[in-house]
Structure 1
Amino acid sequence: MRIAVGSDHGGFNLKRVIIEYLEERGIEYKDFGCYTCEPVDYPDIALPVAKSVAEGRFDRGILICGTGIGISIAANKVPGIRAALCHDCFSARASREHNDANILAMGERVIGPGLAREIVDIWLRTEFEGGRHERRVNKIKAVERNGFICCNDTKQEEPIR
């Protein structure tokens, strides 16, 4: 498994913990920055990570900022990305099982390093269940492809303009 990793300055220290975790387990990764605690805009990190995952150069991504909110919003603007903000183990597992999340977002100012490592471990080990969840994820993919919202299996809204 290949993981794209990135953080802004607010997530820099937690990113180092996550990189240490990946190295301990022999998981291949690329650090997309930032590389110091100097301020950087989270979209400048989130978008290259998200693009690399969407293009298939990496299997999944991990993004960290102060809260995880901004960096996940930015990543989710890239078609094909399902970035999930997770600050607990249940959400991490469900984001993979039910939503096939391909980017994990966390906030350094929200959780500590021990919990973050546990969340990453669960998130990386958990597979997508498919089944009824696949139908729902496919509806999200349809919005990205077609620019319209699938309300249910038989009714569709007008195209978004």
Structure 2
Amino acid sequence: MQNTDKFNITKVVMGADPLGYELKEAVKQHLQKNGIEVKDLTPTNDVDYFSVGEEVGKQIASGEYERGFIFCGTGMGVDIVANKYQGVYSALCESVETTRLSRIINNANILAMGGIIITPYLGKQMADAFMKTPFSEGFSEAEPEFLTQALSEVKTTETRINRFNQIHAN
């Protein structure tokens, strides 16, 4: 089953606004202690949430990083902005289980957390689940083929939405 003993990604990108900064620091230190290379786009706590979502989203969308972490007060603002990028599947989670399922079902590549909601202890557990859980494995109620097909449809839908947005942009 998922949540193996090893991280399956060796480097990540992350960022936080002032309300998510403390949680980001705890998660960053935890990942680094476990041998993960962390690119921190917000080494100080003076960055707006929309800039955090944009910068981390851009790093994932470009393919430079496979996984990322974003933090603000609720996690919602950074999540909304990051998800504007094609190929970014940011999941706002508040538990280990929803984090695990975001990987299994949705192949989430960014984990968004709220610094006023998530404790550092829980944030570290969620980071472990996000890093260790593979896509489409161990979900007994759905076959891996279905999840792979569903993700393909999401990507197709994403392309249609982007075309729509380009046509209707003012």
Alignment TM-score, normalising by the size of structure 1: 0.87
**What is the CA–CA distance in structure 2 between the aligned matches of 1:8 and 1:126, rounded to whole Å?**
26
- 2: distance between equivalents of 1:3 and 1:114? 19
Q: Find the counterpart in structure 1 of residue 109 from structure 2.
A: 102
Equivalent residue, structure 2, for 1:29: 38
The corresponding residue for 1:139 is 153
Alignment of 1:74-153 (within 5 A): 74-129=81-136, 130-147=144-161
TM-score, length basis structure 2: 0.82
Q: Secondary structure at the match of 1:78?
A: coil
Distance 1:122 1:109 in 2: 20
How many aligned positions are there? 149
2:71 and 2:60 map into 1 onto residues whose CA distance is 16
1:92/1:119 contact within 8 Å kept = yes
Measure how far apart 1:34 and its partner are.
5.2
| Shift >4 Å, 4+ stretches | none
CA distance in 1, matches of 2:43, 2:88: 21
Q: Equivalent residue for 2:60?
A: 53
Contact 1:81 1:103 in 2 (8 A): yes
Backbone CA RMSD of aligned residues: 1.7
Supply the distance in 2 between the matched residues of 1:93 and 1:54 (Cα, whole angstroms).
21
Q: CA deviation at 1:135?
A: 1.6
Superposed displacement of residue 144, structure 1: 2.2
Which amino acid is the alignment partner of residue 80 of structure 1?
Answer: G
What are the superposed Cα offsets for residues 2-29 of structure 1, whole Å, 9 maximum, x if unpaired?
2011011110111110110111001011
In structure 1, stretches of 5+ residues that fail to align are 149-159
Secondary structure at 1:135 match in 2: helix
Q: What is the CA–CA distance in structure 2 between the aligned matches of 1:29 and 1:54, rounded to whole Å?
A: 17
Structure 2, unaligned runs of 5 or more: 1-9, 137-143
**Paired-residue identity, %:** 36
